[in-house]
Amino acid sequence: MLDNNFDRDGKINATVDRMRTRGLVEIVLEEHNLENQPINTGIWVNKKNTWVTVADPYQRTKCATPQCKNRCRSYCSCNKALTMCKKCHVAHVLRVNRMAQQKPDLAAEEN
């Protein structure tokens, strides 16, 4: 909502009320930390709920983003199978944050 107020000098002081989304952003960021794989591990196996043991202490795996060709040892805390470089992790968090902000809007449309 736009609120215009006039000063004594005749200048306009305009203020805009904005929706507060900070709490939502903080919740999403807490769930999506970029973490490093333990030493001597390869990929995460969901069926066994464990890392694959490898001989190389710092083996890097391909980033899970299809267009990215980087090799890294970091993963998102939301899913250990999502090996991501720093650049792709930022895009991942922004995408998840955007989806989280759209969910309340979809719920309002349904009601």
Query: Does 82 fall in a domain?
Result: yes
Q: Enumerate the H helices of 2-85 as residue ranges.
A: 22-31
Query: Does 8 fall in a domain?
Result: no
Q: Which domain holds residue 102?
A: 20-110
CA atoms within 13 A on the CB side of 23: 2
Query: Does 13 fall in a domain?
Result: no
Task: Give CA–CA dist 42/106, Å, rounded.
Answer: 39
Number of domains in the chain: 1
| 8 A C-beta contact, residue 59 and residue 83 | no
Q: What is the pLDDT of residue 9?
A: 63
* pLDDT digit string (tens) for the chain, length 111 residues: 445 555 666 555 554 444 445 444 444 455 788 899 999 998 888 899 899 999 988 989 899 888 899 999 999 888 888 899 999 888 888 888 888 777 665 444 444
Q: What is the pLDDT of residue 25?
A: 47
